[in-house]
Amino acid sequence: MLCWLLPLILIVGINLHYIWGSHFDAVVSRQLTQLKFNDQVSVERLNKVIQSSRKASYDGTIVALMAKYNRLEIPERKLIQSTNSYLSGQYGRDESIKAAILWYKSDPEHLNSNTYNQSVNGVYPQVSNYWKEDHQKIAEFADTLGTSAGFYVSGKRCYLVRNLLNASYHEIATLVMLLNQDYCFESYASFPTETSVTLQLDEGKLDIQGETVEIDEKEMEEIGGKAGYIWENGKLCMYHKIAGGEYNLTVMVRIDDNPSLNVFYGYRPLIAGMILCLVPLLLILFKVFEIHMSRPMNVLMKGAKEIEEGNLGYQLEQGTTGREFQYLTESFNQMSSKLKYQFDHIYEEELALRDARIMALQSHINPHFMNNTLEIINWEARLSGNQKVSMMIEALSTLMDATIDRKKQPIVLLSEEMIYVDAYLYIIAERLGKRVSIKKELPPEIMQYEVPRLILQPLIENAVEHGVVRNGQGTILITGYAQEEYLYLEIVNDATLTKAEEERMERLLDVNYDTSKESSGNMGIANVNQRLRIIYGEPCGLSIQKDGPDHVRARLTIRISPTSC
């Protein structure tokens, strides 16, 4: 054994010494860490561009201009001038954007405006190149976006595209922004000049540095599931995937020349020699493995296959291979017996579970059916000339759309949440008339913060029922403000809290309160509080307390997320 064991030990020792000396794993880890950091910086700056594009979508300026133009209140020249001024004010000094182009869907060739940021080398030829080379493809791309924003890569250029919709969700214009790549992807300059970097934004690929990098992720060693590396011809290739909210970013890097990564490759012949020395030992191990491991494992696999084919209760024969496999055989036989017993006794429970799932699926259909029915009733009211009923049905339909949540978006902008609130308040105003007065004091700057969907409606409903309805009349005040890292939304109404009601509020807002034990009339308050605590943690949540002798104040505390700032 010394003839091959001693050289083997020497070779292994030498290789371990050189590998540890070169710190190979540490070098790769540092490169991946740098890549992930660079990707995070790029995502933050791309998200900044997306956030900038939302201004045109939500502030209503473009929609209002188009509405005036359609009503012949302003001529075409005034429409284009006003749009140019708006684009210049919003994007003319944005360091992440070189140029911004906006064209109206009704006549893109004539109704269009643009601006370019000279401070980041934005020039008019970039706008001209867009119309000559990219407009047709981007127009087709915009038709696939709906209300989302998307990135489109054309050669060395990268655009952000967003459709602008009016209150009826009809597309009226498209905003196209040419990214300032020197700023958005500035972080990749930290790699050596010999490094090639390629970005993939959704379906488009953009070469940031060097040559195009093509990587087969299936052949790479994964690190954490979203990053990996592989060696190709002595060059380190890495990739990292990161989600940016409305898009996915995959970054592929090939380090063509880095001396700190080449140390490992000088010792491949030593590794090959070590493998050759292992051959005699491996032959012996294979034989031992066949007798003492493979055969017993085949027996266990045969038993597992019998169980898979439905032969529950199948028993293995006791062998003489060793204590370990004897223990496994006994455990398998016991497991098989218990499995058959449990299968026989839970069959009826499975049937009951299937029926419950069918009922759950049916409950999903009912809201869609109700919404469609409301639409039919709405058209009947319009045809009959009953505009009041029609508008109340439209408000109710808006609330039902929010409840169904077709887009599966539990978190929405406060501006969208106020649409649902306004729909509910319209119904309440029609119901109570002059008996209720609604006041809203919400600063415009907080409307872009994100809140859970339908978080305000239960509190307003509670204020109406326990304040206005109980007193015969009253005022509801909706206020909000941002302070440090929290958003505060408050509902104040003319009401009083008795001792019993204070105790009930304390019980409903308890952290460990079980909503299943409460009647449906009280579930809204507890639901709102628990949703906020689950999503944002302490100290977020709902508090309800007296605000003087004849007012009650309900306060929502919501943590402001970085993407909504």
Using alpha carbons only, what angle is made at residue 227 by residues 223 and 229, rounded to the nearest 5 degrees?
Answer: 80
Which of 220, 238, 261 terminates a domain? The answer is: 261
Residue 216 forms part of a structural domain: yes
Residue 539 forms part of a structural domain: yes
Q: Distance between CA 471 and CA 491 in Å, rounded?
A: 17
Q: Is 535 exposed, middle or buried (0-12, 13-18, 19+ CB in 10 A)?
A: middle
- The CATH number of the domain holding residue 33 is 3.30.450.20
Report, as an integer, the average pLDDT of 37-41. 89
Residue 294 forms part of a structural domain: no
Q: Helix/strand/coil (H, E, C) string of 45-95?
A: HHHHHHHHHHHHHHCCHHHHHHHHHHCCCCCHHHHHHHHHHHHHHHHCCCC
- The CATH number of the domain holding residue 523 is 3.30.565.10
H/E stretch holding 115 reads strand 112-116
Q: What pLDDT, on a 0 to 100 scale, did the predictor assign at position 267?
A: 54
- 466 pLDDT tier (thresholds 50, 70, 90): confident
In this structure, what token pair is assigned to residue 143? 């038709």
Residue 530 forms part of a structural domain: yes
Q: Distance between CA 217 and CA 252 in Å, rounded?
A: 10
Question: How many domains, in total, are found in the chain?
Answer: 2
pLDDT(482) > 90: yes
Its domain, for residue 538, covers: 430-564
pLDDT(264) > 50: no
Q: Distance between CA 212 and CA 63 in Å, rounded?
A: 41
Give helix 2-22 / helix 24-58 axis angle, nearest 10°. Answer: 40
Cα Dmax for the chain? 103
Residue 304 forms part of a structural domain: no
- 350 pLDDT tier (thresholds 50, 70, 90): low
Residue 296 forms part of a structural domain: no
Residue 466 forms part of a structural domain: yes
Which of 207, 227, 261 terminates a domain? The answer is: 261
Which of 19-23, 147-151, 202-206 is predicted with the least confidence, judged by mean pLDDT? 19-23
Give helix 414-432 / helix 387-404 axis angle, nearest 10°. Answer: 140
Own/partner contacts of 112-120, CB < 8 Å, gap of 24 or more, are: 112/80, 113/80, 113/83, 113/84, 113/86, 113/87, 114/84, 114/87, 115/84, 115/87, 115/88, 115/91, 116/92, 117/91, 117/92, 117/93, 117/180, 119/93, 119/95, 120/95, 120/180, 120/182, 120/183
pLDDT(563) > 60: no
Q: What pLDDT, on a 0 to 100 scale, did the predictor assign at position 158?
A: 93
Which of 229, 261, 293 terminates a domain? The answer is: 261
Residue 374 forms part of a structural domain: no
